[in-house]
Amino acid sequence: MAPHDLRRPFKRRPISDQQKRRDLSLLRQSQHRSDAQQRARNLASSVISLQSSSSPDADPETLPEPMPDVDTAGHESEASSFSIRQASSLRGPEARKWFASQLMLPEWMIDVPENLSRDWYVLARPAGKRCFVVSTDGVTVSRLRNGSVLHHFPSALPGGARKKGVSGPAQSYSILDCIFHEADQTYYVIDMVCWRGYSLYECTAEFRFFWLQSKLDETGACDPPSFYHKFRFSVVPFYNCDQSGLHSAYTGSLPYVKDGLLFYNKHAHYHTGNTPLVLIWKDERCSQYVIDTDNNGQVPSQQHIVLELQDDGKIVTSDDPPVVVNCLNADFVKQSGLSPGSLVRFAIGDGGLNCVDGKFEKADLQYISVSNRARAFADSYSKIMFQYMARHSPLKVEDLASMISQENQQDKLPEVEMSD
């Protein structure tokens, strides 16, 4: 398909609050950055005050209060939280639970974002296993989305292998957000979270992607496997989401099997959990699995969803805050042997789903069973809606191209000078 074939003068009407939440996420980022800067100023003032208060005449009651610890995401740390190095010492369920909460998870695209061509990158997502890769103290470990270990191996990443004559800062570590592609045994890197102990959580995607391209190749991590480097790493190419970039990501030839397109807002920080500032979109041309399949790889006649049971019987999505889909009768919960926190699988009946402003007004659900134990999360609201749309009224690549085309036309409109 040529780039001009992607254009179509049609714009879908928004069906959710996804754009509102994008705007809110960007606003919160700005507030967190402002709060972090204010804490830094307060900390600097505290140091000066403490130095001047070292004289015998200083009144201990007037000394400034110590500042709270701040974690890598810019929020006040809780006593129960762990640094990445402390977490590396965890074992079993505790380690899986901690690591399962650290990945930034894209929402499914159910509305085309505003300013798509100006504020977003697009990249072809490799098919494979999403994971964190952590290198520190001479070892590299990859953990899947549910927190379990995928590989334990030496690598050319900083601190990733025990090699003679190689040393570095004792507290240094690196964290990469990757997808492991089985066919060529390669870790395809889609984001950089930390590098040689330097946190990139509060850096924009634009900056993180620049560092990822400039830093990773310097280490030799992109070289073929060797004794001290068991798996090859490769950076996933990303493009500005204009007509040319969308065409390249959608139809371009790549060394891996595609599984949809990822869209990153250029201003997005690395936010753990679901975020509307990173989106995933699929169709039959760029993904083998657009509609969820069952254990046999077959598309079921009804859409299946997984929800979490709460104490009050409400069944909710994995979003923060969770979206309530329905409520189970107490007798049914008891009879089915369910308990709060259970992940429960349902089918969507002929009554379908009805959503208004990001909330379910009606959901025809049919109970199937408790979900597989390997499952770590319920489905998100955006995934449920994307899958529902894929069966009834899918969001097409022409819709994305139409938004880009309209933005280009608006940019070309001449400015009109208003007269008094």
Written as one string, the DSSP assignment of 275-337 is EEEEEEE--TTT-S-SS---TTSPPPSS-EEEEEEPTTSEEE-SSSSPPEEEE--HHHHHHHT
Q: How far apart (Å, rounded) are the C-alpha atoms in residues 175 and 321?
A: 27
Give CA torsion, residues 202, 175, 383, 376, to 10 deg. -120
Q: How far apart (Å, rounded) are the C-alpha atoms in residues 30 and 46?
A: 24
Q: What is the pLDDT of residue 85?
A: 57
Coil, helix or strand at residue 87: helix
Q: What is the pLDDT of residue 417?
A: 54
Amino acid at 359: K
Instruction: State the pTM of this model.
Output: 0.80
Q: What is the pLDDT of residue 331?
A: 94
Q: What is the pLDDT of residue 413?
A: 64
Residue 311 · residue 297 · CB < 8 Å: no
Q: How far apart (Å, rounded) are the C-alpha atoms in residues 100 and 363?
A: 29
Could you read off the pLDDT of 212-234 as tens digits, one per residue? 999 998 999 999 999 999 999 99
Residue 267 · residue 118 · CB < 8 Å: no
Residues of the chain with pLDDT under 70: 1-16, 33-90, 164-171, 413-420
Helix, strand and coil content of the chain, in percent to the nearest 5, comes to 30, 30, 45
Please report the beta strands in 30-119, taking only residues with DSSP state E, as ranges in sequence order. Answer: 104-108
Q: What is the pLDDT of residue 197?
A: 86
